Amino acid sequence: MTERPQAVPTVQIDNDKVVVTEWRFAPGAETGYHRHGMEYVVVPITHGELLLQTPDGERRAALVPGQSYTRLIGTEHNVINPCAHEVAFIEIELKPR
* Domain spans of the chain, in order of start: 8-94
- pLDDT value at 2 more than 90: no
Q: Mind listing the pLDDT tens digit for each residue in 44-85?
A: 999 999 999 999 999 999 999 999 999 999 999 999 999 999
pLDDT band at 1 (very low <50, low <70, confident <90, very high): low
Q: Is the pTM of this model over 0.85?
A: yes
Mean pLDDT for the chain?
A: 96
Q: What is the structure's pLDDT at 97?
A: 83
Burial string for 45-74 (b: 16+ CB within 10 Å, else e) reads ebebebbbbeeeeeeeeebeeeeeeeeeee
- CATH architecture under which domain 8-94 falls: Sandwich (2.60)
Q: State whether the Cα torsion 14-20-26-29 is positive or negative.
A: positive
